A and B are shown apart, each in its own frame.
Chain A
Amino acid sequence: DAKTTQPPSMDCAEGRAANLPCNHSTISGNEYVYWYRQIHSQGPQYIIHGLKNNETNEMASLIITEDRKSSTLILPHATLRDTAVYYCIVRPTLNAGNNRKLIWGLGTSLAVNP
Chain B
Amino acid sequence: DSGVTQTPKHLITATGQRVTLRCSPRSGDLSVYWYQQSLDQGLQFLIQYYNGEERAKGNILERFSAQQFPDLHSELNLSSLELGDSALYFCASSVSQRASTDTQYFGPGTRLTVL
Contact = CB atoms under 8 A, between A and B. Distances in A.
Interface of A: 32, 34, 36, 41-46, 49, 87, 94, 98-107
Contacts of B48: 100-101
A45 B106 contact: yes
10 contacts: A42-B108, A43-B92, A43-B108, A44-B106, A46-B106, A94-B100, A94-B102, A100-B55, A101-B48, A104-B42
Contacts of B114: none
B28 to A, nearest CB: 16
B43 interface: yes
Q: What 3 A-B pairs are tightest by C-beta distance, nearest first?
A: A43-B106, A104-B42, A104-B43
Interface in B65-93: 88, 90, 92
B105 A46 contact: yes
Contacts of B31: 100
A101 B101 contact: no
Interface string B90-111: 1010100111111111111101
Contacts of A103: 45
B43 A98 contact: no
Interface residues of B, number: 32
B44 interface: yes
B56 A101 contact: yes
B76 to A, nearest CB: 15
Contacts of B45: 101-104
A46 B103 contact: yes
A42 B109 contact: yes
Nearest to A101: B45
Given A43-B90, A104-B43, A105-B42, 13 more contacts: A32-B101, A36-B106, A41-B111, A43-B2, A49-B103, A94-B99, A98-B56, A100-B48, A100-B94, A101-B58, A104-B35, A104-B42, A106-B41
A102 B43 contact: yes
Nearest to A99: B56
Nearest to B100: A94
B41 to A, nearest CB: 7
B112 interface: no
Nearest to B109: A43
